[in-house]
Amino acid sequence: MSMQGALWGGRFGTGPSPELTRFSRSDPRYFAMAPYDLHGSRAHVRELHRAGLLDDAELAEFLGTLDVLAAEVAAGTLRPSPADEDVHTFLERVLVERLGPAGGKIRAGRSRNDQAANDLRLYMRDKVRGVSALLVELASALADQAEKHLHTPAPGFTHLQAAQPVVFGHQLLAHAQPLLRDLHRFQHWDLRADNSPLGAAALAGSTFALRPELAAADQGYSRSAENSIDAVGSRDVAIEFLFVCSLTLIDVSRLCEEIISWASYQFGWIRLDDAWCTGSSIMPQKKNPDIAELTRGKAGRVLGNLMGLMAAVKALPLAYNRDLAEDKHAVLDAVDTIEVAFPALTGLVRTFTVDVDALTAQSTAGFTLATEVADWLARRGTPFGQAHEVAGRLVRFCEEHGIGFAELTDDQLRTVDQGLTADIRPLLTVDAALAAHSGAGGTAPERVAEQLTRLRGGLDKASAWTRDYGGLTVPSA
């Protein structure tokens, strides 16, 4: 690579080696930062105009050219050349080609250090609402399915063992609730990310861009960075963004695991729509939940990206180091993963059908009403420790005789314990068990219906936030 068009090289006697050039050049995916670099450049040339480096005519020419470049990048007609080291080199080269040597004025008062930090922050703030909108859609799909099954009994599990009956809507909402919290995390992240690194230059601040707070407002930020060294040397904003992406995918991965189980022949709870499944190349009967499996796998990769970036910045000296280039790989991959996985998973959730009869039959299998026996005894004055022991003996008696609770005779109840009378029978039904858990957050159908209403309200607020963003729009001068 020759030094022509490079952003550095005056003190070097030769150009870089081919090996250095190949290693140092940005990953082609990083040129996705071009719209954000142009957005920051608009704010920067306004700073240069305020500093007197550009007159009114030059400012107008720069802004007009930057708008043209942004349109060409968006249309895909303007692309980097193999000689462009990174997105900053690429765009400055084109500016000089369009404006002549005067195009080089844009480099005054800024560095690739604050540009790179600003570009990624703009990218994340631009993407966070779209990612959140996909999250709203997935949670809404779960809510829609839950609404259909506010009275459908299902076995609840602990240790993957049948534990107590719940309504299936409650189980579905148990996956929607973490997604709502993830939405809140994205919103809180955006508040902390709402400050511009532009104006920090290499690390000490700029001698020309002296009103970074105005440049921040030009870009849609509320404020500029408090410390120029921190602005270019820290990546906690990217790490936190990746953490929320990773946690969201972990929450989704747990949903995927359950969908895979529910759709199996052994569970038989749900049937997946043909349009959202694949088959086997050798076994004609197979109907595979590939969307859930792929999403579960990709969750691990994004979590690995988070760990990789945290490891990269650990113990880095201030201010900027090239190690920080790892931030873009991790963030771009996380966003790409969510953007492709969530619409597919949402479709899978919206279209599966539930076998209500199978769920109802399994809801009391495995003696899931045993706790109701202990609770009934406790309400009649038996200490719960003793009541627990009696209920356990009743389960053992049924197992030894190959019967369920519903088949017990009055004599058999008294054989286990004299305190077990026929009065307990009305409570040994799944409907009675569900209704009994009527405290806030419980699985009683009326409580689940109230939960659903509140969840939808939270999703509506989050959805409104996703729409409350003007995008990469610079206010008029």
Residue 78 falls inside a structural domain: yes
Whether residue 160 sits in one domain with residue 86: no
What's the CATH code of the domain at 188?
A: 1.20.200.10
Here the tokens at position 97 are 């080609």
Whether residue 410 is predicted with pLDDT greater than 50 in this model: the reply is yes
Say if CB 373 and CB 394 are below 8 A apart. Answer: yes
pLDDT score for 24: 80
**Element of type H or E holding 153:** strand 153-158
Q: pTM of the entire structure?
A: 0.93
The CA-based angle 186-441-349, given to 5 degrees, is 55
For residues 345 and 349, what is the distance between their CA atoms, to the nearest angstrom?
6
Alpha helices in 285-418 (DSSP H): 290-313, 326-351, 356-363, 370-379, 384-401, 410-416
Domain range enclosing 375: 370-428
Whether residue 104 sits in one domain with residue 125: no
Whether residue 342 sits in one domain with residue 416: no
For residues 267 and 28, what is the distance between their CA atoms, to the nearest angstrom?
46
Whether residue 186 sits in one domain with residue 93: no
For residues 44 and 354, what is the distance between their CA atoms, to the nearest angstrom?
57
- C-alpha dist (Å) from residue 475 to 50, 65, 118, 216, 218: 16, 17, 18, 11, 6
Residue 471 falls inside a structural domain: no
Count of domains observed in the chain: 3
Residue 454 falls inside a structural domain: no
What's the CATH code of the domain at 59?
A: 1.10.275.10
> Final residue of a domain: which of 358, 392, 410?
358
Whether residue 123 sits in one domain with residue 74: no
pLDDT tens-digit series, residues 160-183: 999 999 999 999 999 999 999 999
Whether residue 180 sits in one domain with residue 38: no
pLDDT tens-digit series, residues 362-408: 999 999 999 999 999 999 999 999 999 999 999 999 999 999 999 99
End-to-end CA distance of the chain: 40
pLDDT tens-digit series, residues 248-271: 999 999 999 999 999 999 999 999
The CA-based angle 306-289-279, given to 5 degrees, is 130
Say if CB 185 and CB 213 are below 8 A apart. Answer: no
Nearest to 70 by CA among 82, 58, 55, 87: 87
> Final residue of a domain: which of 327, 358, 389?
358
Whether residue 407 sits in one domain with residue 261: no
> Final residue of a domain: which of 331, 358, 385?
358
Give the number of residues written for the chain.
477
Whether residue 191 sits in one domain with residue 73: no
Say if CB 291 and CB 299 are below 8 A apart. Answer: no
Residue 472 falls inside a structural domain: no
For residues 181 and 238, what is the distance between their CA atoms, to the nearest angstrom?
19
Q: Which residues are catalytic?
A: 159, 280
Per DSSP bridges, beta strands 195-196 and 223-224 are parallel
Whether residue 384 sits in one domain with residue 239: no
Whether residue 171 sits in one domain with residue 248: yes
For residues 229 and 245, what is the distance between their CA atoms, to the nearest angstrom?
27
Look-up of token digits 């250090």: 113
pLDDT tens-digit series, residues 12-41: 667 788 888 788 888 889 999 999 999 999
Whether residue 318 sits in one domain with residue 188: yes
Residue 437 falls inside a structural domain: no
Residue 76 falls inside a structural domain: yes
Residue 222 falls inside a structural domain: no
Whether residue 220 is predicted with pLDDT greater than 60 in this model: the reply is yes
Residue 11 falls inside a structural domain: no
Whether residue 279 sits in one domain with residue 183: yes
